[in-house]
Amino acid sequence: MKLNRRSLLKLSAATAAMSTVALPSFAQDIDELVVAYNVNLPSWDPTVGLSAVNPTIQGFYQSVFDLYIPQNPDLSFGSGIITDYGWNDDNTAIWMDVREGVTWHNGDPLSAEDVAWSLSRVANPETGSPIQFIWGNLQNVKADGNRVTADLAGFDPTLFKWMSFLTGYVMPKKYYEEVGAEGFEAAPIGTGPYMVEKFERNAFVRLKANENYWGGAPEFKTVTIKFVADAASRVAEVESGNSHVTLEMPYEEYDRLKGKDGLAGVDTPVSDIGMIFLNDIEVMTDPNVRMAAAHAIDKQTIIDRLLSGYGVAIDTLQTPDYPAYDASIKVPYDPDKAKELLAASGYGTDNPVKFKIQCTKGYKPKDFEMIQAIVGLWRRVGIEAEIEVYEIAKHFELRAADQLAPAAFYNWGNSVGDPTTSTGFAMFGPSPHSVWDGEDTLNAILPLWGEADEAKRIEGWKAVDRRIAENAEVIPLLQYVQPILHDARVKVTPHRSGALLPHLMTRA
Amino acid sequence: MTLLRAILLRLLTTAITLFGVAVIVFVVIRVVPGNPIAMMLPPGATEADILRLETQYGFDKTIPQQFMIWLGGVMQGDFGTSISTRQPVSGLVLSRLPATLELSIVALIIAVTLGGTMALLGTRFRDSKTEGAIDVTAGMALSIPDFLWGLVLILLFGVLWPVFHISGRISPSLDIDFTTNFYLFEALLRLRFDVIADLIGHMVMPALALAIPLAAIIAQLLKQSLKETMHLDYVTLARTKGYGEAKVITREALPNALLPTLTLVGVQFTFLIGGTVIIERLFSYEGLGNMAIDAVINRDLPLIQGIVILFALIFTLVNLAVDMLYVVLNPRLRHA
């Protein structure tokens, strides 16, 4: 083709036409909020199956369904579908008052029957309910007026906290019985702030505001949540204006973009922590080695250098937001003390103690790099650790079988904030999540599972955390900070659980 | 009759291949690290919970027993139930297959068009700066992997000059209910030009990312074949008849030079479909590849098996189709 004025005009016209046709729709005003989310939603039932215990998708569920007892953005407990609750005098039964005037998305009124049915359903293992050790305690769940009562097979002081946690959602009895599991999956309804308008598996979910929401209608009337697994694509989504909000991106990218015209960022510590499991095998049975390993890590420098300062150094498995957090428990960076401890066991830089440390690569921000830095710090005091990279699935398998290496990096989530779901499950030998088998810790934890006096229970966990820190039975590293990048026209209120909740977003 | 026999023979070998793939996949994904039950253990799970889950998903049986149960189901069209979505595997993979097929076919069309054009131009202007430029372009296109092309395209046409959609297959705001999952094909039949434009707006970048390396391969091989053909007697004869160079290339040289390229395109097309795994993830395209990554992350064994079997089936069918096409296009084989 000869290049002349006419052909150039044709080419320009064709390009312009193509651009017009293919141009994404950029809203002047944000009528429809678009969120680029980092994970897919595999299933809509928040109470049974694998997805129900997946912490990363609880934000979807909390947009559509109500927890029995909601958690505020600062992790404190609010008043929700259950407005008041308690135990009887001898802790053998519970009662709960159900909010009146709440409607399901299909217009049916919510009743105490729904709450009783939902609890009975998750208490039945045949439904596929995964949290049996809690809900399995509920027996004879009954509704009378707006009050629900249940007998308890065993007392668990965290029972009501689980009503704000995984699988603690109210489900619609009448609707579910009408449509069945498959029908519910195709057209889920809840009492939450948003209703499901359209759901394309692996692609997006489109939500419509529930104007009758008992907590007040959300500001954005339509919200589309796109599932964008790749971090670079999520960043591009917001940078290009295709999406208004996204989360979980490299901190360097976050720093680069949050100051850009039209964009803003909010970064808050969330309930996820990074830690090193110590398995009491091989050299880790020597307390001097464990303590030296703990004292040789300069957590703050690692956070500053590798995570651009986004992180909070921790010395127990409690974050500062949790009730059992004790600021007085410290495991300071002290390389000289680490050398002394190692010397007491016959180790030094000339004769280093050797063990393996396992870690993921890319599962959490800079996980591998952090372990490389730690191994470097250890080398200076006389610890020679060999890094083994594994997939997260392998970690779960090894942990459940108590076959982790002497040291293994992992991240632990505990949005409910209770010490049982952090120190408890991570350090209690019989738990499949723990690799620490020490009798002393087990005996210290044992009485706390059923402690009814809340103040005494929390103090008990603080004492357990103190002895764990003193003996270096685990090495807590940091509390993660979640970066949320958003259009400057949107005000995002982050939730410390890490759930990105559209109903907490308003126009700036 | 010979052709029919050849097809039947290939179908038989396809069945044997699929069985072999099924056995290997079934065993391998159960041997590699990552126990799906360990992945789904909630906090506070007990030994009894682990046993209950193992029984529920059939992991308490031996691998041969599990395989026989699975194979029995497959014979009746039941590929099991996905662990992560609790949906039938067959329904899930078949619902995503059209997206991957549409993307792959569009990528193939782009690759053939681009590669073919480059080859024809390179032949027409052989031994000139144009051919040099085409060789350099093809070399660059080939040396950069498809996912990197994807990132470059996102930067160029998603962020700097945002003309195409970065993620997804269709805009959520579009008001259309499809009766099939072949969105593009259905939109074309229904003459919904707004939907076609939207679908293409979503498809251009992932399809281009997949197509660019293949286009470079086609360009290099076809140009080489064309250049070799240009020295043959019948091409010289065409020239003596007074045909112009463009006509000599397209009418005389191209049909004969196409055959080796066709075989290569067939093989490369299967690689292209394999490439959709990464590209679909990058562009959040709701196809089989994207689903495969989720299945692997979640250790969703029934879903992984279903996807791999389907991929294997596609690969063998594409190869079969290429072989048949080769026979049809090659007169020497056709009359053998």
* pLDDT for A20: 45
Give me the interface pTM, i.e. the ipTM.
0.80
Quote the domain boundaries for residue B256.
97-299
User: Which chain A residue has its CA at the smallest distance from B178's CA?
Assistant: A200
- Domain count along chain B: 1
What CATH number corresponds to the domain at position B103?
A: 1.10.3720.10
For residue B156, tell me if it sits in a domain: yes
Half-sphere exposure of B332 (CA within 13 A, CB side): 2
Q: Which residue ranges in chain A fall short of pLDDT 70?
A: 1-28
Give B247→chain A minimum CA distance, Å: 15
Identify the residue among A184, A205, A221, A230 best suited for mutation to test binding to B, counting B beta carbons within 10 A and taking the highest: A230
Between the alpha carbon of residue B34 and those of residues A146, A245, A472, B99, B235, the distances in Å are: 46, 33, 28, 29, 61
CB distance from B65 to chain A under 8 Å?
Answer: no
* pLDDT for A19: 47
**Distance of alpha carbon B239 from alpha carbon A481, whole angstroms:** 72
Using the beta-carbon criterion (under 8 Å), do A242 and B155 form an inter-chain contact? no
For residue B11, tell me if it sits in a domain: no
Burial label for A426, CB within 10 Å (0-12, 13-18, 19+), is buried
* pLDDT for A5: 53
Strand-pair partners of A208: A195, A222
**Distance of alpha carbon A154 from alpha carbon B115, whole angstroms:** 71
For residue B336, tell me if it sits in a domain: no
CB atoms within 10 A of CB A425: 21
For residue B108, tell me if it sits in a domain: yes
Residue, of A60 and B54, whose pLDDT is higher: A60
Using the beta-carbon criterion (under 8 Å), do B200 and A22 form an inter-chain contact? yes
Using the beta-carbon criterion (under 8 Å), do B201 and A24 form an inter-chain contact? yes
Give A344→chain B minimum CA distance, Å: 38
Q: Is the model's pLDDT at B274 over the cut of 70?
A: yes
Between the alpha carbon of residue B272 and those of residues A344, B103, B183, the distances in Å are: 61, 10, 20
Provide the chain B residues 140-179 that lie in CB contact (below 8 A) with chain A.
Answer: 151, 154-155, 158-159, 162-173
CB distance from B31 to chain A under 8 Å?
Answer: no
Q: Is the model's pLDDT at B33 over the cut of 90?
A: no
At residue B280 the predicted structure's pLDDT band, cuts being 50, 70 and 90, is very high
Q: Is the model's pLDDT at B331 over the cut of 70?
A: no
Residue A142 and residue A393 in contact, taking contact as beta carbons nearer than 8 Å: no
Using the beta-carbon criterion (under 8 Å), do B34 and A32 form an inter-chain contact? no
**Distance of alpha carbon B70 from alpha carbon B90, whole angstroms:** 13
Using the beta-carbon criterion (under 8 Å), do B293 and A229 form an inter-chain contact? yes
With beta carbons under 8 A apart, name residues in chain A contacting B162.
23-24, 26, 240-242
Q: How far, in whole angstroms, is CA A36 from its chain's centroid?
A: 18
From the list A128, A206, A396, the residue facing B39 with the nearest CB is A396
pTM, entire model: 0.85
Give A473→chain B minimum CA distance, Å: 20
Residue B242 and residue B257 in contact, taking contact as beta carbons nearer than 8 Å: no
Per DSSP bridges, beta strands A32-37 and A245-247 are: parallel
CB atoms within 10 A of CB B178: 15
Using the beta-carbon criterion (under 8 Å), do B35 and A204 form an inter-chain contact? no
**Distance of alpha carbon A214 from alpha carbon A161, whole angstroms:** 21
From the list A167, A241, A393, the residue facing B162 with the nearest CB is A241
Using the beta-carbon criterion (under 8 Å), do B162 and A240 form an inter-chain contact? yes
Using the beta-carbon criterion (under 8 Å), do A22 and B168 form an inter-chain contact? no
List, for residues B125-179, the tens digit of each pLDDT value: 988 999 999 999 999 998 998 899 999 999 999 999 999 999 999 998 888 889 9
* pLDDT for A25: 44
CA angle at A350 for the pair A348 and A356, rounded to the nearest 5°: 70
**Mean pLDDT taken over chain B:** 87
The stretch B196-218 carries a mean pLDDT of: 95
CA angle at A454 for the pair A448 and A456, rounded to the nearest 5°: 65
Between the alpha carbon of residue A149 and those of residues A94, A163, A244, A399, the distances in Å are: 6, 14, 44, 37
Using the beta-carbon criterion (under 8 Å), do B84 and A130 form an inter-chain contact? no
For residue B253, tell me if it sits in a domain: yes
